[in-house]
């Protein structure tokens, strides 16, 4: 069931449970394959979700810092001299419509 139809966002179906299960060669699920958070409280799960979201945000800020330093040398003082400058178009993969070929 899709999350827009009322399901929980980020909830993946198990391979072995549900309507007959899904045949799969690996006995692990996508989320928590080793059942480490099986007995965790809802508070601990919510804290882990918030930490995961914040880690993703920090990674996005980091990659933008590297892109900024490559395009404008000296724009990120901590990366000066660490990252080589780039003369090309950093958004080139997104500037051409692949469907118009």
Q: How far apart are CA 53 and CA 30, in angstroms?
A: 18
Highest mean pLDDT among 3-7, 73-77, 85-89, 94-98: 73-77
Quick: pLDDT tens for 30-67.
677 788 888 889 999 889 889 989 999 999 999 999 99
Kindly state the average pLDDT of the residues 12-38.
70
Q: Residues near 15 by Cβ (< 8 Å), separated by ≥ 6?
A: 21, 22, 24, 26, 27, 28, 29
Q: What is the pTM of this model?
A: 0.61
């Amino acid at each position: 069931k899709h999350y827009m139809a009322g399901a929980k966002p980020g909830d993946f179906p198990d391979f072995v449970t549900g309507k007959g299960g899904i045949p799969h060669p690996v006995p692990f699920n996508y989320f928590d394959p080793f059942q480490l958070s099986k007995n965790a409280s809802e508070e601990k799960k919510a804290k882990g979700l918030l930490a995961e979201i914040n880690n993703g945000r920090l990674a996005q800020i980091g990659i933008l810092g590297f892109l900024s330093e490559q395009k404008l040398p000296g724009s990120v003082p901590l990366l000066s001299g660490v990252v080589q400058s780039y003369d090309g178009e950093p958004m080139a993969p997104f500037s051409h419509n692949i469907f118009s070929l």
